[in-house]
Structure 1
């Protein structure tokens, strides 16, 4: 990594979290294809989907909370069953009626941080979002183009939640360790190679067991 890029990374960590989130908001909208047509389709869907949001949220939460770690994290975040239902009904509504603009971006990041506050690992954010998408698709049926719009919207939401977690994790890490960014990235490279080697050995073992 060049000195310029290290300085750039350090400068990024000094920015207010809002400006970092907003700068990535447009990027995610482009990556997921959140166009005006997609937003229009989401609003068209909202009338029928949101009429059943209580049912969808209850089913999705039941599915996600079968995992003990998810259930415990929601409780630690102060979300008992009743509060969790209200919390996710609010978020679910924004998926279909949100503007996917700067304010929406910050709101979804706030939701992500609230979940992380309870100790929910970032990997389980995808479990939650996938559960909601699955239940919504099952409820909706119909035209595949609407399913595509929903997949894009849920993907955007997951990306924003995950980004808020990553910013938090990164800033705490740099604050606590003071480690140089170049050293950190070299460590990632070294340990990723080690872990990949372990996985290759595991895959070989499974292959021989199967045959």
Structure 2
């Protein structure tokens, strides 16, 4: 990787990935809401911010997202489902990354290897769901997985060397996960970033349209 674009560069995972890539000698362009005013839920903002970039970028990583949106907690039962909270999840965790893909594909090289990776979560897997609960977050992540898979099919026609993938980083110690790890093993953002950057180096066009965890194990949709 030579030139990377990180969306959500000021977040826990995003900032750690920026630091790790720079330590590996990669030139990094970072965009975030707090530092640059990028609002992935607003197409005008996405179009303006990405439209100002030249590229090409051989790595584009969307690290935006949240477990809680506007203070709405993950639902343990469908009786707690709130339609506005679910819409908030979809805006941030599904529509936002879709808008990034829409406006960033022009920045990706057509004739040389490249990676477009989007942060997802194992709980978005329908096949791996044995616990239930977390309706809004789960369905928003399942939706972004579908967006990524569908975009990969389209992009393969024009960008034959591109890997467009969904990635699960493990349970990372951030302010969003502190209350929900439930004794699951967690890793620091720095460790997650090293794992993700190792994964970026291993991805090729044969992996496009798929869903992987940090250990390069494929996750069922």
TM range (shorter): 0.3 to 0.5
Q: Looking at both structures, which has the greater relative contact order when contacts are Cα pairs under 8 Å and sequence separation is at least 6?
A: 1
- Where is the helix percentage greater, Structure 1 or Structure 2? 1
TM-score, scaled relative to structure 1:
0.34
| CA radius of gyration, larger in | 1
TM-score, scaled relative to structure 2:
0.32
- Where is the strand percentage greater, Structure 1 or Structure 2? 2
